[in-house]
Structure 1
Amino acid sequence: MSRKYKIHNQEKLYFVTFTIVQWIDLFSRQVYRDIFLDSLKFCQIKKGLDLCAYCIMSSHIHLILGRNGDQKLEDIIRDIKKYTSVKIIQTIKESQEESRRIFLLHHFSKAGNSNPNNSIYQVWQQHNHPIELNTNEKVHRCLNYIHNNPVVAGIVLSPEEYLYSSAKNYARHPETLIDVILID
């Protein structure tokens, strides 16, 4: 992997993207979005995750992350992806409502079998492409990119209308899904 896409400074914020294998629209279902949000909440409380921005799209998630504890940021990211992968697969297998069960398990199994780092299933693409946000310009560009993602996709007209995004937090909306550390 290129040195360009590694976390070098644990004290900085990073822009990362988590993408479902083959860009499958997994997060079109609320149950999977909730699994991801619960994992973030857990990591905020137990692992020292500083979540500054997020946007859950149908096939990928954008985040601005940092840390406030001893755990390395790449370890927190690994734990989020590992936990959510296991929980998502378990939910797919157990859900009577999941009409895409065979399709999802087939594609996640195919991805897992072709990757020696996985045992059976692979939900997430391996790369996160962390970008260190070492200037105010980079921070604000990434923040705007994250929050405008649903607007560009034609889902909403303004960023704060999108429920699964920190744009509501930044708009000081009283009802948000998860707490974030606002970037000035």
Structure 2
Amino acid sequence: MARKARVKSTSGIYHVMFRGVNRQDIFHDDEDRMKFLEILKKYKEYAGLVVYAWCLMSNHIHLLLKEGEEGIGATMKRVGVSYALFFNWKYQTSGHLFQNRFNSESVEQDDYFLTVVRYIHQNPVKAGMVGRVEDWRWSSCSGYYDQPCFPEGLLERSRVLQMFSPDASIAKEKFREYNEQTNQDECLEDYPFKRRRLTDEEAGHEIKEILGTREIAQVKSLPKDERDIVLRKIKSIDGLSQRQAARILGIPPSLVFKV
């Protein structure tokens, strides 16, 4: 089936999302997240992107940006390929990291532009990973709240803040109130994957269901082919990260990543 053509934004602004193939984690540690943001900054400068908001989750990424001197598709391809090369080199894996091409929607209206910013910042809260938007280190929220925001020079916040007030202090106060409002925002609604991270106890129960008569402690001693089959099934558990699975199974994370 032919891919659906990407809708061209008349404003040049897009809400973009990358997600891991087969729901796999695309970030395993802070170095991974820092590397992705460094790559994004590199291509921001190369192509003249304007980056208004971002959030890096465990297996997907949200970005709100304005395309620069080349189409958004070309720039996002550069970003995705560069990060996948780093990831595969670091974890000694191969193959696709991201599921198909990136997903996107055109952002044309000011009110929806602000909705997307809030939606992106509230992603970790709605996923149950933190209690407050400012507690998630890997989003642009900290930059809007005058807190340290890595990497320096990536975030362009003036457009957002000026939509609340020409006075900087008032704008920040009003933005914070808006950014933390309880809401039912839905953006990129065709994205089917919303899940809560499992606790270790819940994950252990799900793993035992897959193992049947086997014990968790026996997995690391299984022959490689048999172990790989089991690990593929375990990796499909909703809400279970690959690093969490490795910890519960008592095996090196690299064994899980490579399957």
Task: Give the AA of the match of 1:180.
Answer: L
Q: How does 1:87-126 map to 2 (within 5 A)?
A: 87-93=86-92, 105=93, 109=94, 121-126=95-100
Query: 2:59, 2:100 → 1: CA distance?
Result: 14
Give the length in aligned residue pairs: 155
Aligned partners of 1:89, 1:155: CA distance in 2, in Å? Answer: 26
Q: 1:36 to 1:180 in 2, by over 3 A?
A: same
Q: CA RMSD in A?
A: 1.6
- Tell me if 1:181 matches 2:181: no
Q: Which residue matches 2:28?
A: 28
1:1-184 matches, within 5 Å, as: 1-3=3-5, 6-9=6-9, 11-68=11-68, 70-93=69-92, 105=93, 109=94, 121-173=95-147, 175-178=148-151, 179-182=154-157, 183=160, 184=163
Partners in 2 of 1:86 and 1:18 — Cα distance? Answer: 15
Counterpart of 1:2 in structure 2: which amino acid? K
Equivalent residues of 1:16, 1:129 under 8 A apart: yes
Unaligned stretches of 5+ residues in structure 1: 94-104, 110-120
Q: TM-score, normalised by structure 1?
A: 0.78
Q: Distance in 2 between matches of 1:160 and 1:87?
A: 28
Aligned sequence identity (%): 24
Task: State the SS of the aligned residue for 1:124.
Answer: coil
Separation in structure 1 between the aligned mates of residue 35 and residue 23 of structure 2, nearest angstrom = 18
Task: Give the C-alpha shift of residue 35 in structure 1.
Answer: 1.8
Q: Which amino acid aligns with 1:52?
A: Y
Q: Partners of 1:130 and 1:26 in 2: how far apart? A: 18
**Relative contact order (alpha carbons < 8 A, sep ≥ 6): 1 or 2 greater?**
1
